[in-house]
């Protein structure tokens, strides 16, 4: 796969006294892929998108589209189309002419531009809406018109800045479905900003995680969850289980026990924090597993998460969270056994923040015997 867009060492500050809003960001977008720039509010996501669009001038670094450095290319000649949180449709034009706008400006004959626009309205499931005034559209419909208008411009990169965040949850998932269909039919290269990791995971192939202007990790969606490169990434991806310990010969030693690590980790011997997704821990009855592949624990708390429950357990003095489906009743005080698949174990450097409730004090915990 070739890269459509390469962002190379991009930095940006708005004033010399404050911290940079973008700090040496490197990112490459494969042709036809959808990359979600994910990060908390204020982490620099929109600034990154605006720099790609040519609406902010970077202090350092390059933005290269199909091999061409865009430094001297004006926004309207970059081949980018942007859709933001608000659809920003032209109020004096009807739906069809909003979508036909880019083609008409390029000098395409009005009739041909309208025929083309009607095709894009079909693609966003607004067939027959062409003659309506844009003021007569609902929020979700207006956003679909904005997407059709952007796609009709045949952008090299489609830039989406929190495009669905103003919509309610049901409409938002309908838009995710629509985006998936558009990707199947047109395969545009998409760079999409969102602060919602569920949305990023639902629509993108890859996530680029930003924090304070730094790109922490850029990886396939599944790897962002299962192989975070740091504790910060693990936490920003919503992970809650952190176990301090020591690695020797591919085994993590902690109060939880001696846990084999996946062969792909390649972790050097020394201190390391084992991180485990709460969705990956399964809770079994307290019957002895003859293979010894599970860990004893006591349930300390149960919280309902809609169709699932978040179960907090104490395992050898370590607090762990497991997201479990509904099944047999569980109560605080129940003795259970935990299974943690080897593939769900990941290592990150550093020491967890001692103030966090998910962290146990391994120094005082008793080492258990037997490898799990």
- Intra-chain end-to-end CA distance of the chain, in Å: 40
What does the alpha-carbon distance between residue 146 and residue 180 come to, in Å, rounded to a whole number? 16
Q: Which of residues 330-359 bind Mg ion (CB under 5 A)?
A: none
Which entry of Mg ion, ligand ADP, none binds 326, CB below 5 to 8 A by partner kind? none
- Return the range that interacts with Mg ion (CB under 5 A); candidates 38-46, 111-119, 180-188, 296-304: 38-46
**Partner that binds at residue 20, options ligand ADP, Mg ion, none, CB closer than 5 to 8 Å by kind:** none
> Residue 133 binds which entry of Mg ion, ligand ADP, none, with Cβ cut-offs from 5 to 8 Å by kind?
none
CB of 44 to Mg ion, least distance (A): 9
Region from 45-53, 144-152, 220-228, 286-294 binding Mg ion, contact rule CB under 5 A: 45-53
- Interface residues with ligand ADP (CB under 6 A) are 14, 21, 39, 41-47
Contact status, residue 97 vs residue 114, Cβ threshold 8 Å: yes
Q: Which is nearer to ligand ADP, 210 or 275 (CB)?
A: 210
Cβ nearer to Mg ion, comparing 46 with 226: 46
Is 33 or 46 the residue whose CB approaches Mg ion more closely? 46
DSSP state for residue 21 in the 8-state scheme: S
> Hunting for tokens 């429950």 — which residue is that?
309
Instruction: Indicate which of Mg ion, ligand ADP, none lies near residue 43 (CB less than 5 to 8 Å, by partner kind).
Output: ligand ADP
Which of residues 23, 33, 43, 46 is near Mg ion by CB under 5 A? 46
42 binds, among ligand ADP, Mg ion, none (CB under 5 to 8 A by kind): ligand ADP
Question: Which one, 44 or 188, has the nearer CB to ligand ADP?
Answer: 44
Q: Give min distance, CB of 50 to Mg ion, in A.
A: 9
Question: DSSP secondary-structure letter at 75?
Answer: G
Give the HSE-up count for residue 355: Cα atoms under 13 Å, Cβ half-sphere: 0
Angle, nearest 10°, between helix axes 110-123 and 169-186? 120
Burial of 314 from C-beta contacts in 10 A (0-12 / 13-18 / 19+): middle
**Nearer residue to ligand ADP within complex by CB, 48 or 318:** 48
Q: With respect to Mg ion, which residue has the nearer C-beta, 41 or 364?
A: 41
Binding partner selected for residue 259 from Mg ion, ligand ADP, none, CB under the kind-specific 5 to 8 Å limit: none
Of 46 and 372, nearer to Mg ion (C-beta) is: 46
The CA distance from 83 to 165, in Å, is 12
**Nearest CA among 295, 289, 280 for reference residue 335:** 295
Total H helices, total E strands in the chain: 9, 20
In sequence order, what DSSP letters do the residues of 245-281 get, joined into one string?
Answer: EEEETTEEEETTEEEEPPTT--PPSEEEEEEE-GGG-
DSSP state of 232: H
Residue of minimal CB distance from Mg ion?
46
**Using CB under 5 A as the criterion, which residues of the chain lie in contact with Mg ion when the complex forms?**
46
């Amino acid at each position: 796969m070739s890269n459509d867009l390469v962002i190379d060492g991009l930095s940006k500050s708005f004033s010399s006294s404050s911290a940079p809003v973008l700090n040496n960001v490197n990112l490459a977008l494969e042709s036809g892929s959808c990359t979600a720039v994910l990060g908390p509010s204020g982490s620099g996501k929109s600034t990154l998108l605006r720099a790609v669009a040519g609406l902010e001038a970077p202090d350092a670094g390059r933005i290269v589209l199909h091999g061409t450095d865009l430094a001297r290319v004006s926004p309207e000649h970059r081949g980018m189309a942007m859709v933001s949180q608000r659809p920003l449709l032209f109020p004096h034009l009807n739906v069809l002419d909003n979508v036909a706008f880019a083609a008409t400006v390029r000098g395409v004959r009005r009739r041909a531009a309208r025929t083309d626009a009607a095709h894009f309205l079909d693609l966003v499931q607004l067939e027959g809406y062409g003659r309506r005034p844009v003021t007569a559209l609902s929020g979700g419909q207006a956003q679909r018109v904005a997407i059709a208008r952007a796609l009709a411009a045949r952008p090299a990169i489609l830039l989406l800045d929190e495009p669905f965040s103003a919509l309610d949850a049901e409409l938002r998932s309908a838009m995710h479905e629509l985006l998936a269909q558009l990707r199947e039919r047109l395969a545009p290269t998409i760079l999409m900003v969102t602060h919602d990791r569920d949305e990023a995971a639902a629509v993108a192939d890859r996530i680029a995680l930003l924090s304070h202007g730094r790109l922490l990790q850029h990886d396939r969606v599944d790897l962002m969850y299962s192989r975070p490169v740091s504790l910060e990434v693990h936490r920003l991806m919503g992970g809650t289980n952190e176990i301090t310990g020591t690695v020797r010969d591919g085994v993590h030693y902690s109060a939880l026990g001696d846990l084999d690590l996946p062969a792909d980790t390649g972790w050097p011997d020394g201190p390391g924090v084992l991180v485990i997704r709460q969705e990956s821990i399964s809770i079994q009855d307290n019957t002895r597993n003859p293979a010894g592949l599970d860990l004893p624990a006591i349930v300390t708390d149960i919280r309902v998460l809609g169709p699932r429950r978040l179960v907090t357990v104490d395992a050898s003095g370590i607090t762990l969270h497991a997201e479990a489906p509904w099944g047999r009743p569980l109560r605080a005080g129940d003795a259970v056994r935990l299974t943690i698949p080897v593939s769900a174990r990941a290592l990150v450097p550093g020491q967890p923040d001692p103030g966090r409730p998910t962290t146990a004090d391994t120094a005082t915990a008793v080492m258990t015997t037997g490898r799990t």
